[in-house]
Structure formats: structure tokens, C-alpha cells
Amino acid sequence: MIVVMKRFTNRTALITGGTSGIGFATARRLLDEGAYVVITGRDQARLDAAAERLGSERVLPVRADVSVDADLDLLVRRVETWRGALDVVFANAGIADFKSEFTPEDFDRTVGINFKGVFFTIQKALPLMGDGGAVVINASWTLHRGLPVASLYAAGKAAVHNLARTFGTDLAPRGIRVNSVSPGYIATEMYRSAIDPDAQDRILAEVPLGSLGHPDDVAAAVAFLASEDASYITGQDLVIDGGLVGAAPLGL
């Protein structure tokens, strides 16, 4: 028998990039556990469609590009008007740009979303959090192990994991915990657009558990870190990767 926990009854969560993949799965998980959930994205039509698929009165879709300061200000105001306070922030929105050479524009775009966007999402949400609550940042297994042509992406993910440590230290006196998750290969739009289908068999051979992860696998870990079950955990990274990071490459 599966017991559905209700760890977030009457709590409010903000999830950036909540229209697809891991963000969407986490929105559904937190809703199932009783939360009110704000999902964000850049496209209003996609947001509305995602809110409809979630099918709950406890969802508020808000258009906001995390790399745009004014959008984040508006987002925080909408959350405040809707619920007055925030208990959980999942800084999830991100992009993957994999190549061996980058222009300064590429750099600004990736850093603007994957690092600056995470930093300011958290900083601007903090006044709504009062004393207590949890922040979870979506990092990546690539902060633990080298991946070819992923330099910009992986460096940004290492940076946001470091935010979990530093914000985690800064915010501990307020009772706010900050952790990151590092998904491995998870079957989402990002995975499908970034990974060559011909590489799939080689990738699966590197994953000890032998399959891609499902967005729900990451959502469960986010829900754990955001909940009171993780009340003594802060500044950490939780890897959800089927064993990828811990295993030696098969080519050895």
C-alpha cells in the first residue's frame, strides 16, 4: 500500500520553470502533499496548459523569466498577494547549451538563467519566507563529474550548489534550510534536446541502475529536502542519478 504523505498542507511553494520536466513533476508532488504551488515560465500559453494539466485550485501560474529582474519583482508581488508568505522555493529553471566554444552572448544567456536567475529568485523570495522554510536548488550531476562540451553549464551548476552552502550558512539563524539536488540523466525535454539519440546506449551503459531517471524521482527528493523530514539537513547536495556519479567509467 502506498501512503500519500501530506507534509505541505497549507504551505506555499514557488517553483521556477514549472511547465515541464522536473519542475512540473515537483509541482504535482507538492500539490499531492497539500501545498499551494506557484509555477513560473516564460510562455503564458504553456503555463496555462501546465496549470490545467495539474488541475488544482491550489496552483497559480505566473509568467516570469528568471533572468529578468523586473519579472522576478512582479512574481514576488503576485505570490504575496495570493498567499502572503512562502514556505518553499524550488529554483529549478535552467537551460543546457552544450558545445566546445561559446560567444560572450552564449555566456551571458546561460549564466543569466542558470546562475543569476537562481541567485535572484532566492534573494527576492527571502522576504516572503519569514523565519523558517526551505530552499532547494536544481543543480546537476555535472558538478561532480566531467561531461564533454558542458563547461559553461557545469560551472554554473557548481556555482549554484555553492549557493546552497553559503545561503545555507547565512540563513541558518532564520531557520531556513538551503540544499541542492543533482539529477543524473532524467527523461525530460532538456535531455531529449541536449543528448544525441545515438549516444543513448552508451549513456545507459554508464548508469549502474541501467535506465534514465524519471522526473518523479527528482520530485520525490525535492519534496524530502523541502519537508520537515530533512529538518537537520542544510548546505548539502543530494544526487539522484542511478549511481552514475559514484561509479567508475566503464571505459577504464
CA distance 109 to 127: 27
Nearest-approach distance from CB 30 to ligand NAD, in angstroms: 15
Q: Binding ligand NAD by CB under 6 A: which of 12, 16, 121, 180?
A: 16
65 binds ligand NAD (CB under 6 A): yes
Whether residue 182 contacts residue 238, with contact meaning beta carbons closer than 8 Å, is answered with yes
Task: Please pick, from the candidates 14, 31, 60, 66, the single residue that binds ligand NAD as defined by CB under 6 A.
Answer: 66
Q: How far is the CB of 232 from ligand NAD (least distance, A)?
A: 25
Site for ligand NAD in 85-144 (CB under 6 A): 92-96, 113, 117, 138, 140
Q: Is 39 in the site for ligand NAD (CB under 6 A)?
A: no
| Residues 137 and 218: beta-carbon distance below 8 Å | no
Q: Name the residue nearer to ligand NAD (CB basis): 18 or 133.
A: 18
In the bound state with ligand NAD, the residue whose beta carbon lies nearer, of 175 and 195, is 195
Taking the C-alpha atoms of residue 67 and residue 58, their distance in angstroms, rounded to an integer, is 26
Rounded distance, CA 53 to CA 47, Å? 10
Cell of 193: 534536446
Closest CA to 163 of 136, 128, 182, 184: 136
Contacts with ligand NAD by CB under 6 A: the residue count is: 29
We find the least distance from the C-beta atom of residue 211 to ligand NAD, in angstroms, to be 13
Other beta carbons within 10 Å of 213 = 22
Least gap, CB of 235 to ligand NAD (angstroms): 19
Q: Does 36 bind ligand NAD (CB under 6 A)?
A: no
- The span from the CA of 112 to the CA of 118, in Å, is 9
Among all residues, which ones are annotated catalytic? 153
Q: Is 180 in the site for ligand NAD (CB under 6 A)?
A: no
Amino acid 147 reads: L
Which residues touch 151 (CB under 8 Å, ≥6 apart)? 102
When asked if residue 179 is in the footprint of ligand NAD (CB under 6 A), the reply is: no
Cβ contacts of 240 within 8 Å, gap of 6 or more: 181, 182, 183, 184, 186, 213, 217, 218, 221
CB of 185 to ligand NAD, least distance (A): 5
Q: Does 67 bind ligand NAD (CB under 6 A)?
A: yes
Residue 41 lies near ligand NAD (rule: CB under 6 A): yes
Which single residue is written with the C-alpha cell 567508475? Answer: 248
Smaller CB separation from ligand NAD, 6 or 99:
99
- Among 219, 241, 217, CA closest to 29: 219
Q: Binding of ligand NAD at residue 183 (CB under 6 A)?
A: yes
Beta-ladder partners of 65: none
* Least distance between ligand NAD and beta carbon 3 (Å): 27
Which residues contribute to the site for ligand NAD (CB under 6 A)? 16-17, 19-23, 40-42, 65-67, 92-96, 113, 117, 138, 140, 183, 185-186, 188-191
